[in-house]
Amino acid sequence: MPEPQPYDPAIAGTGAGGAMDLAISEGSSLDGGPGGLPKDPSEKARSLWSDALRDLRRNPVFIISGLIILFLLIISLWPSLITSGNPLKADLSKAQQGSSPGHPFGYDPQGRDVYTRVVYGTRTSVTVGVCATLGVAIVGSFLGALAGFFGGWWDSILSRISDIFFGIPVVLGGLVFLSVVTGSTVWPVIGFMILLGWPQIARIARGSVITVKQNDFVQAARALGASNSRMMLRHVAPNAVAPVIVVATIALGTYISLEATLSYLGVGLKEPAVSWGIDISAASNYMRNAPHMVLYPAGALALTVLAFIMLGDAVRDALDPKLR
């Protein structure tokens, strides 16, 4: 039977102290000093943003959705580029007629050209989507970032308020709010979306800021005597903004469909405004006889929402690969 050998770390080969002594005395340059980096001096410095952009450019989902969105933006700014018609010109004698030369999508129940109305409806949808998203992102990230950064009672109050807003059913809230605040423009609808949408972004921003705030580099800035605003703007915000952008981009699509929903229910936009929701609503009674009057605006709506959600997905993959 062999002699019991007590465990000796040095013999067993952990010898951390020994390895260190060796390295100290030799002063080796394993970690490279000046020469240890990628050699090419012309290599451009890359930030995480430019990394993300490079990822995006290679992503077919981003390219396809980007092209669709670019097209939508252009025709919402200059609808006359692809149609010469007037979306309000009605010719009852042509009501519900199918497609004909010059009028590829046919006519709606009022005898208006569906193609022209779909094109002009883009402007409404894009305006609502973009403005609501911007408003929600600004209000939500501002309040959420404050709550996350300062914490304390301000955080508690804000979190409870956002809980309350989360409890409001969107469509019911829209019916109530928009039957009080009326108008035929897009602004009451956008206002309602900001009112109900900010808590979502505020939560994301709050969580993101809390995560970033705990990083040592924020503490390092504090140790250097940096002010709160400097820490917030230089150190916290740039590192916390990615999740906000991702969620906002995905939400953009849902705001567009929410506008259509509210308009369909008769509380969003109202005639004479041109909106896909209004057209779907007006045409849905004739669905069996003339389905084209519903299908074209609905198709445009679906394509637009899909494009924005795909864009959101691509942006998320690029900015936060961990979520993939």
Q: Does 34 bind another protein (CB under 8 A)?
A: yes
| Least gap, CB of 234 to another protein (angstroms) | 7
Q: Does 12 bind another protein (CB under 8 A)?
A: yes
C-alpha span between 66 and 53 (Å, rounded): 13
| Least gap, CB of 240 to another protein (angstroms) | 10
The nearer residue to another protein, 90 or 221, going by C-beta atoms, is 221
The nearer residue to another protein, 43 or 102, going by C-beta atoms, is 43
Residue among 132, 104, 135, 112 nearest 271 (CA):
112
Backbone angles phi, psi at 98, to 5 degrees: -80, -170
Q: Does 37 bind another protein (CB under 8 A)?
A: yes
Contact with another protein (CB under 8 A) among 94, 103, 222, 270: 222
Q: Does 154 bind another protein (CB under 8 A)?
A: no
# residues near another protein by CB under 8 A: 57
- Only one of the segments 16-24, 159-167, 192-200, 299-307 lies at the binding site for another protein (rule: CB under 8 A); that segment is 16-24
Contact with another protein (CB under 8 A) among 146, 239, 301, 306: 239
C-alpha span between 221 and 223 (Å, rounded): 5
- Only one of the segments 6-14, 90-98, 171-179, 251-259 lies at the binding site for another protein (rule: CB under 8 A); that segment is 6-14
Q: Which residues pair with 100 in a beta bridge?
A: 103
Residues 6+ apart with CB under 8 A from 256: 125, 126, 128, 129, 301, 304, 305, 308
- Looking at this protein, which amino acid is placed at residue 301? L
C-alpha dist (Å) from residue 291 to 102, 125, 294, 299, 316: 19, 22, 6, 12, 37
- Only one of the segments 31-39, 162-170, 176-184, 188-196 lies at the binding site for another protein (rule: CB under 8 A); that segment is 31-39
Eight-state DSSP code of residue 274: -
Q: Does 9 bind another protein (CB under 8 A)?
A: yes
User: Binding marks (x or -) toward another protein, 38..67, rule CB under 8 A?
Assistant: x--x---xxxx-------------------
- Cα 116–chain centre separation: 29
Q: Both tokens of residue 248?
A: 């906002």
| Least gap, CB of 315 to another protein (angstroms) | 17
- Helices then strands (H, E): number in the chain? 12, 0
| Least gap, CB of 18 to another protein (angstroms) | 3
Q: Does 225 bind another protein (CB under 8 A)?
A: yes
Characterise 86 by phi-psi region: left (phi > 0), alpha (psi -120 to 50), beta (else).
beta
The nearer residue to another protein, 40 or 288, going by C-beta atoms, is 40
3 state SS of 113: strand
Residues binding another protein (CB under 8 A) = 1-12, 14-21, 23-25, 27-38, 41, 45-48, 215-217, 219-227, 230, 234-235, 238-239
